Chain A
């Protein structure tokens, strides 16, 4: 292994890649476009009012209606009515991937008119302090107004603030680690499937075999290139996600193992797919068979937690699942234990596929 030759090949490979433009588009620009697109579709950034899901257990009584109307008129909140058959709103919110709710208890009107203290329950997401503040403040304010009007300041309506579940996150927060995973997968996979089969067909491996450059040096320089590309695209995606949608993700050194081992894993897998195929056409088919299920079922566009159980089982078989799960743990939840487990899985897979592909990959013919 000669570092100078690795660097020389890296520079020639990078020149060809950058001049080819297509790879650069799919590696750097496309993931950012996806963030902007999915972020815009799902994150309702144009609406400043906070969505609040309301369960009214007081049978739509006059005073409960009055209270909700007052909340609505604040223009700070958009109320959505949830069927009163929902007894545990916190669970319902989690299941529906929502984070703010309000429970009007049974007997609201009777207690209010009698002057018996009653309790409203407000659920908010601790992750988004601003949203919680708006909801809690508005409900408190309207309650005060009602208390003042009826009983000259004696607090009848008490507001109890509760936090919902533990991890209520916005879609765009999931989207960023998911799309980093998407780019960790697709950029090396598509490029390597194509390169390894086209180089074979166009006799470029033969040409390289006539020089002192070894297969290992060639593969290492290629892996380094895709790691560099992945690091750049990650910074771009996080930057755009935060600037455009205020995504709550943290850049942490814990991400680095995924951004290094991920490209290593998928460069090896792509090389293997291209090596075992006889033609570039069949390589593309094999590459797609490997890539597409992983692209959609590993938590790239949607959190795996939303999947039905059988699909969750499928996701656990896909190598990319562990990259995205680990990136979620590192970037959103700060869960070091989960991240380390995922690093171990991705690392083991990367080493296995690297060894298998370098053994299968031959640039001379028998």
Chain B
């Protein structure tokens, strides 16, 4: 059985800017695949090429064995899409929108049942313009599901949503996987990828810098252990001159790579000698988020990434 999505050497240029620079990946049937990256990394460009919304500059792309740009009309009935910044006609209600889509796709649909599935039945008869961001996104999800597609492309489906709306959407994504549908998800929430995805690819400046299951990525790119001081960044500068281990400062926390108990003792001794006040310390191993930050560079460098990093649990 061939893969649902196959990409070989995909390149996309916007004028002189190369947004996607030679991507290779494949997504298996029934898999939830998360495409991670900071803003501007090339996530949306890639997913829009897969959805048939954009043509590519070069490379091979196949969705369900078809060319998404040239064979778009054949793919439309088989794919469901929530585009980034999903928007709809402002004076149309969710139930009208679902009935409209069902008609366009020539499907009989239980409108109320579908709106209940995405937890939007309360707002079934309110104009789109009166819905909150989360409710709008739920309608986007409902419209992507109207025709029971084989493959779904969800481009940052939960960006900017409150935790409750986010969890409602996660629940639907899990049920899609249970139904055997293939889901291609872009996100910049690492937690979302860790919770939902079978496999993850991290994209940075148009290149894929890591790919695999979250565990594989951490094993390959993560450090063995991490000692975290809750301390100002000066501590990092102090430690860097005195140890050959990697030291990273972020958000009032300083991470020191540790390979054994001696490393921990040495770090604590150095920190004490520095006379820089630190509040608490903890040890842990890398999470996907740590790997992401390290691979993609310092926080804020390539976009507005602001992972909440409050030490370790």
Contact = CB atoms under 8 A, between A and B. Distances in A.
Contacts of A211: 76, 101, 104-105
Interface in B63-96: 72-73, 76-77, 81, 83, 85-92, 96
A212 B55 contact: no
Contact of A212 (B77, B89, B127): B77
A12 B102 CA distance: 13
Interface string B87-116: 111111000100011011110000000000
Interface string A195-213: 0000000111011011111
Given A4-B103, A12-B100, A366-B55, A212 B73 contact: yes
A301 to B, nearest CB: 33
Interface string B142-171: 000000000000000000000000000000
B52 interface: yes
A196 B55 CA distance: 22
Interface in B44-68: 51-55
A80 interface: no
Contacts of A8: 100, 103-104
B83 A12 contact: no
A213 B51 CA distance: 16
Interface stretch (A15-23, A94-102, A130-138, A145-153): A15-23
Contacts of A213: 104
Interface centre among B51, B77, B101 (most CB of A within 10 A): B101
A20 B91 contact: yes
A311 to B, nearest CB: 42
A149 to B, nearest CB: 76
A364 interface: yes
Nearest to A209: B53
B83 A19 contact: no
A12 B96 contact: yes
A260 B91 CA distance: 27
Nearest to A364: B53
A286 B35 CA distance: 41
A16 B54 contact: no
A366 B54 CA distance: 5
Given A12-B92, A15-B91, A16-B90, A210 B100 contact: no
Interface in A1-21: 4-5, 8-9, 12, 15-16, 19-20
Q: Is the interface of A mostly helix, strand, loop or mixed?
A: helix
Nearest to A5: B104
A9 B101 CA distance: 10
Interface in A56-99: none
Contacts of A365: 53-54
Given A20-B91, A207-B83, A207-B88, A212 B96 contact: no
A210 B103 contact: no
B87 to A, nearest CB: 5
A203 B85 contact: yes
Interface string B101-140: 1011110000000000000000000010000000000000
B52 A364 contact: yes
Nearest to A21: B91
A207 B72 CA distance: 14
Given A5-B103, A206-B83, A15 B55 contact: no
Contact of A204 (B77, B87, B91): B87
Contacts of B92: 12, 15-16
Contacts of B52: 364
Contact of B96 (A9, A15, A202): A15
B105 A212 contact: yes
A114 B221 CA distance: 127
A210 B51 contact: yes
Interface centre among B55, B104, B105 (most CB of A within 10 A): B104
A20 to B, nearest CB: 6
Given A212-B73, A212-B77, A365-B53, A16 B83 contact: no
Complex A-B, nearest 5 residue pairs according to Cβ-Cβ distance, in ascending order: A19-B91, A8-B103, A211-B104, A16-B91, A210-B81
Interface of B: 51-55, 72-73, 76-77, 81, 83, 85-92, 96, 100-101, 103-106, 127
Given A15-B96, A204-B87, 4 more contacts: A12-B96, A15-B91, A16-B90, A366-B54
12 contacts: A4-B103, A12-B89, A12-B96, A15-B96, A202-B87, A203-B85, A203-B87, A207-B87, A210-B51, A210-B53, A210-B83, A212-B105
